[in-house]
Structure 1
Amino acid sequence: MKTIYRRCTVLDGTEEMEPRPDMTVVAEDGRIISVTKEEAFSGEGEVIDLEGRYLMPGLINLHVHLPGNGAPKKKQQDSTAAAKLVMKNRFTRFIGLKMCENYAKTELLSGVTTIRTVGGLGNFDTLIRDRINAGKLDGPRILASNMAVSVPGGHMTGSVAYSAGSEEECRALVRKIAGEKPDWIKLMITGGVLDAKVKGEPGVLKMPPSYVKACCEEAHKAGYRVAAHTESPEGVRTALENGVDTIEHGASPDEEIISLFKEKKACDICTISPAVPLAKFGKDIMDSTEMMRYNGNIVLEGIINCAKAALEHGIPVGLGTDTACPFVTHYDMWRELQYFHKYVGVSRAFALYTATRRNAEIAGIGQETGSIEPGKSADFLITEKNPLEDLTVLRTPYMVVARGKAFKKPVVKKYPICERELDKCLQNL
């Protein structure tokens, strides 16, 4: 049976989108079959009268880690010990898998109909992806990478990343991950703010260039694109020179880095959400040192500057949240759009376009989702008011539709401290 979304105001996901009132969108078998003016439609099916509400493509989050929820802890968690505990035996793995399934559903109910996972536990991400695709589980479309590849002492080694100690080990680990049929391969090339040992040196290069090249060659040979955690200019340069396809986070670029982005046809994935609390919150809010805050500001400025420079030079920029860093939850993709608008200086329409159609194109699924047009997947986010006037309306969806299945007035569990402190940051922008 057809589902007829009547009397809606369509925001189609294109770069120059404007509200199109009094529209009817018809979906059947999970696909959009028509988008017409209200008076032009005739036909039968289940009718959902949206009474003028705003219907847009579901959001796409290009940087997600499913094993955590982003709720802040009083003290920094030992992620390696936590991962070992989850993967200890069959029972603990079952509990861990269910936890990740619930977090994926939280993404969906918050208006995110597609996620790209970039470092998870074992093969959980592809297992959850396949269960969702088979209709056994409610969740967003998942582009999965499973475990990442790092190095001894590197970022997330022992938790959501394997450790490679040679070029051959890099190739072997990429082949191992590829055997689980992921959608992407993820590398951890530099350290991060929480790894830094010296003030003023976040994002230290950890993975040797030859390792990066070996991973990328092996991944590309198997037909996979490569995403890489990079939080310093040296890391970005190394990643681009050796074959990485998407730079995750980024750093303040020079002319050489901009030229490499263009030459390699690489993309920048802007992730402001994790840097804001690290840079802005004091020790009274999160367990951070003065060095962490100092380094957090360097990373925040680097992410913003990288996105600005990329846009200025016509380099594709996508958006992701880096859930589950501290204070970065599975329900707050809307904040990344707001940060993009406020910090990078793009319009609200461009922010929404980036989180929908542009993200779909970067992820290689632009023919499947990301815009409201016939033939695309019926992936919708429906809001009471116009996000082109106020992006905060995205935080409380009226309805979410994923591949044709509607979730009306969705509710997710929220963390009061995250809501309170992150809202203060937005008010101060």
Structure 2
Amino acid sequence: MKYAYTGGILLDGSEEMEPRTGLVVKTDGEKIAAIEPEGGDLAGYEMIDLAGQYLMPGLINMHVHLPANGKPKKKQQDNVKMVKLMTSNGLMKAVLRKMCEGYARTQLMSGVTTIRTMGGVLDCDSAIRDRIDAGEIVGPRILAANMAVSVPGGHMAGSLAYEAHSADEARDYVAKIAAEKPDIIKLMITGGVLDAKKKGEPGELKMPPEYVKAACDEAHRHGLKVAAHVESPEGVRVALENGVDTIEHGAKPDEAILALFKERGACQIATLSPALPYALFDRAVSGVSEMEQYNGAVVFEGIVECARACLKAGIPVGLGTDTGCPYITHYDMWREVNYFHKYCGVSNAFALSTATKKNAELAGLGDRLGTLEPGKCADMIVTAKNPLEDLTALREVAMVIARGKPIRAPKVKKMPQVEAELDKFI
């Protein structure tokens, strides 16, 4: 497993990255052994000629739900009923795990070499993580949250999240999840777009502050950071005041909220992908009501404004797709990168660096992943065209290198209807 990648154009993942030629990337096992000028000794290495293609770090998707694939449905699914069915017996649990393993593999084959799961069924996510780490199946690196913690009537309550009825119960659920050895704890603090009962009220605060504090204190006691689903300014404030480390999604912040971000050393994980269909699709296509479209626009604009304000204030912003929501697939992280450029006004280089270097840092893996450097993990992708000129170059990946193993011409099964609708917003 010693490879020498020659003839490529390197994009190193840094914010100032520029195409670099005349270099050989040597990998030894799972690591990048060296990056050297061409013409040196390659004895002992299997040569892979990239023939002028672009080599860069693998993408990192900071917000994924493995149990769903993003296929749009004609009517809203009863998630509680579906999860009860999928966990009703050993056979159904095996089917669930197999399905999630397939979706994780799709992420990898699309160029995403690391994912951060933000709410799954039971301990399925960490079990898949462990199987991938053991080499039993092929997939991306996984930072797993397993089940989240919500409240009665809260976001994903009873399906991908436990229902806490008190601060003590919230603490107990965190302890229960921590016993499964996850990498992070997820809280559902506010409602979502489809949880809202009236116009203008997406992201209604659901979890009381004392629940949030109890959950965060317990998670931190176990050495685990806390991520929180939040889609309103009030929710962001409550989350940050009570110990949350990463704001998933976000909402328009004021100066007090920005000060809380800095005080807590917290960050935003922007997810423009899931709100876009609700906000911008023709309702004849999305199938949502006028109220849901209005609320979707509030959430979409709130995420964009949060990202813009955080970046301006020097607060870190990461990227994730929230895969599993309607029209948000396991192969479209490239769209999130493109939306970040298009709607938040950052350069192509900054957007790509965010999806690689910055996401690695925010995931706590910056010493191992995110840039092309000797000593770092050989998690890389190859594209035919230059994403610094056009981010749609990330749409088709010519090669994925995962833990040092090259996967040539990776394939994913796509949904033509989803592709056609989303392509209108490239």
Shorter-chain TM-score: which interval?
over 0.9
- Corresponding residue for 1:138? 138
- Corresponding residue for 1:102? 102
- Corresponding residue for 1:178? 178
Q: Which moved more, 1:42-51 or 1:125-134?
A: 42-51
- What amino acid is aligned across from residue 410 of structure 2 in structure 1? P
Contact 1:147 1:161 in 2 (8 A): yes
**TM-score if structure 1 supplies the norm length?**
0.98
Where does 1:190-339 land on structure 2 (aligned, <5 Å)?
Answer: 190-339=190-339
CA distance in 1, matches of 2:115, 2:24: 27
Contact 1:22 1:52 in 2 (8 A): no
- Corresponding residue for 2:408? 408
- Corresponding residue for 2:65? 65
- What amino acid is aligned across from residue 391 of structure 1 in structure 2? L
Where does 1:409-424 land on structure 2 (aligned, <5 Å)?
Answer: 409-424=409-424
Contact 1:76 1:287 in 2 (8 A): no
CA distance in 2, matches of 1:76, 1:404: 41
CA distance in 1, matches of 2:287, 2:98: 28
3-state SS of paired residue (2:286): coil
CA distance in 2, matches of 1:44, 1:275: 50
**Once the 2 structures are TM-superposed, how far is the Cα of residue 52 of structure 1 from its aligned partner?**
1.3
3-state SS of paired residue (2:146): coil
CA distance in 2, matches of 1:103, 1:41: 40
Contact 1:66 1:324 in 2 (8 A): yes
- Structure 1 unaligned runs (5+)? none
Contact 1:282 1:288 in 2 (8 A): no
- Corresponding residue for 1:343? 343
3-state SS of paired residue (1:186): strand
CA distance in 2, matches of 1:226, 1:22: 43
- What amino acid is aligned across from residue 360 of structure 2 in structure 1? A
- Corresponding residue for 1:371? 371
Contact 2:13 2:356 in 1 (8 A): yes
**Once the 2 structures are TM-superposed, how far is the Cα of residue 41 of structure 1 from its aligned partner?**
4.9
- What amino acid is aligned across from residue 194 of structure 1 in structure 2? L
- Corresponding residue for 1:353? 353
Contact 1:184 1:224 in 2 (8 A): yes
CA distance in 1, matches of 2:417, 2:312: 36
**Once the 2 structures are TM-superposed, how far is the Cα of residue 369 of structure 1 from its aligned partner?**
0.7
3-state SS of paired residue (1:39): coil
**Once the 2 structures are TM-superposed, how far is the Cα of residue 39 of structure 1 from its aligned partner?**
2.7
Contact 1:73 1:286 in 2 (8 A): no
Structure 1 outlier segments of 4+, above 4 Å: none
**Once the 2 structures are TM-superposed, how far is the Cα of residue 285 of structure 1 from its aligned partner?**
1.1
Deviations 1:111-162 (A, max 9, x none): 0000000000000000000000000010000000000000000000011000
3-state SS of paired residue (2:318): strand
Deviations 1:254-282 (A, max 9, x none): 00000000000000000000011010123
The answer to whether residue 387 in structure 2 is matched with residue 392 in structure 1 is: no
3-state SS of paired residue (2:24): strand
CA distance in 1, matches of 2:359, 2:398: 23
Contact 2:57 2:381 in 1 (8 A): yes
CA distance in 2, matches of 1:357, 1:384: 21
Contact 2:4 2:42 in 1 (8 A): no
CA distance in 1, matches of 2:374, 2:283: 51
Contact 2:283 2:293 in 1 (8 A): no
**TM-score if structure 2 supplies the norm length?**
0.99
Contact 2:143 2:184 in 1 (8 A): yes
- What amino acid is aligned across from residue 166 of structure 1 in structure 2? S
Contact 1:250 1:306 in 2 (8 A): yes
CA distance in 2, matches of 1:14, 1:156: 36
- What amino acid is aligned across from residue 349 of structure 2 in structure 1? A
CA distance in 1, matches of 2:410, 2:261: 39
Q: Which moved more, 1:100-109 or 1:82-91?
A: 82-91
CA distance in 2, matches of 1:211, 1:151: 9
Deviations 1:375-415 (A, max 9, x none): 10000010001000010010100000111111111110100
CA distance in 2, matches of 1:237, 1:22: 50
CA distance in 2, matches of 1:78, 1:284: 22
Where does 1:8-87 land on structure 2 (aligned, <5 Å)?
Answer: 8-87=8-87
Deviations 1:157-193 (A, max 9, x none): 0110000000110111000000000000000000000
- What amino acid is aligned across from residue 73 of structure 2 in structure 1? K
- Corresponding residue for 1:425? 425
CA distance in 1, matches of 2:111, 2:56: 10
Deviations 1:328-384 (A, max 9, x none): 000000000000000000000000000001000000011111110001000001000
- What amino acid is aligned across from residue 158 of structure 1 in structure 2? G
Contact 1:27 1:33 in 2 (8 A): yes
CA distance in 2, matches of 1:287, 1:75: 8
CA distance in 2, matches of 1:416, 1:403: 31
Contact 1:149 1:188 in 2 (8 A): yes
3-state SS of paired residue (1:18): coil
The answer to whether residue 135 in structure 2 is matched with residue 154 in structure 1 is: no
**Once the 2 structures are TM-superposed, how far is the Cα of residue 40 of structure 1 from its aligned partner?**
4.0
Count of residues paired in the alignment: 426
Percentage identity across paired residues of the two chains = 62
